[in-house]
């Protein structure tokens, strides 16, 4: 189920999240996430991923974001900003 602010499509093909929203993804599929928005001066987008085991983050290595762009096993990658 989607987290706060999520509008979920039946097959996860198209999901729109609002600010502060989150979404649980299936562990058995390859998923690609793209963030797109209308640029406005002074605003940036920041995507991050929390890896959960039994519903919990085990430590800092389970947090993937711009400054730690890969999980320890490299199964989750943050591609960074693209123009």
pLDDT tens track for 39-71: 889 988 788 888 888 889 999 999 999 999 999
Indicate whether this model's pTM tops 0.85. no
Count of C-beta atoms within a 10 Å radius of residue 64: 20
Give CA–CA dist 64/72, Å, rounded: 9
Contact 45, 39 (CB under 8 A): no
* Phi and psi torsions of 53, nearest 5°: -125, 120
Does the pLDDT at position 4 exceed 60? no
Nearest to 49 by CA among 37, 34, 36, 65: 65
Distance in angstroms (rounded) separating the CA atoms of residues 17 and 37: 12
């Amino acid at each position: 189920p989607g987290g706060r602010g999520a509008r979920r499509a039946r097959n996860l093909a198209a999901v729109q999240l609002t600010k502060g929203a989150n979404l649980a993804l299936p562990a058995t599929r390859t998923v690609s996430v793209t963030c797109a928005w209308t640029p406005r001066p002074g605003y940036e987008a920041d995507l991050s991923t929390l890896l959960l085991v039994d519903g919990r983050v085990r430590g800092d290595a389970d947090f993937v974001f711009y400054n730690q762009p890969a999980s320890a096993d490299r199964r989750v990658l943050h591609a960074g900003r693209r123009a």
